[in-house]
Amino acid sequence: MFVFIIAAFLVLLVIPPLVMYVFPAANLLMRLFLALMIFMTVRGFLGNSPLTIIISALLIYLLVIRHAYFTASLFVFFYVLLAFQFLSVIIWGLSVTMRRA
């Protein structure tokens, strides 16, 4: 049973790059969504400042332009884990730190 779960997760990691490679529109949409998610996350932590733009640009260059397939795989993988409530402790921890700010 455990082997099937591992195999399903591995298939889940392969699907986003495959879809992005086969369908150019999906590639563009995923890159746009990743860039917006990165920018909004950095702006949520740092506020509106020039440092937000610099860090966002660096992360977008590294994660969306250079390593888009890897980032898309991890993004989809972690969202599936979130849907299964595996990462609820991490979400709780992030919400506690965001409330202090």
Which 3-state string (H, E, C) describes the chain? CHHHHHHHHHHHHHHHHHHHHHCHHHHHHHHHHHHHHHHHHHHHHHCCCHHHHHHHHHHHHHHHHHCHHHHHHHHHHHHHHHHCCCCHHHHHHHHHHHHHC
Three-class DSSP category at 84: coil
Domain that holds residue 50: 2-100
Q: Indicate whether 46 pLDDT > 90.
A: yes
Residue 17 has which token pair?
A: 């790059």
Mean pLDDT calculated for residue range 39-58: 95
The pLDDT confidence band at residue 82, using thresholds 50, 70 and 90, is: confident
The pLDDT confidence band at residue 92, using thresholds 50, 70 and 90, is: confident
Dist. CA 47–CA 56, nearest whole Å: 12
Which DSSP symbol is given to 97? Answer: H
Give percent above pLDDT 90 in the chain.
Answer: 63
Q: Which pLDDT value is given to residue 1?
A: 65
Q: Between 100 and 56, name the one with better pLDDT.
A: 56
Q: Between 22 and 98, name the one with better pLDDT.
A: 22
The count of domains in the chain is 1
Q: Indicate whether 101 pLDDT > 60.
A: no
Q: What is the pLDDT of residues 7-28, one digit of tens each?
A: 888 998 999 999 999 999 999 9
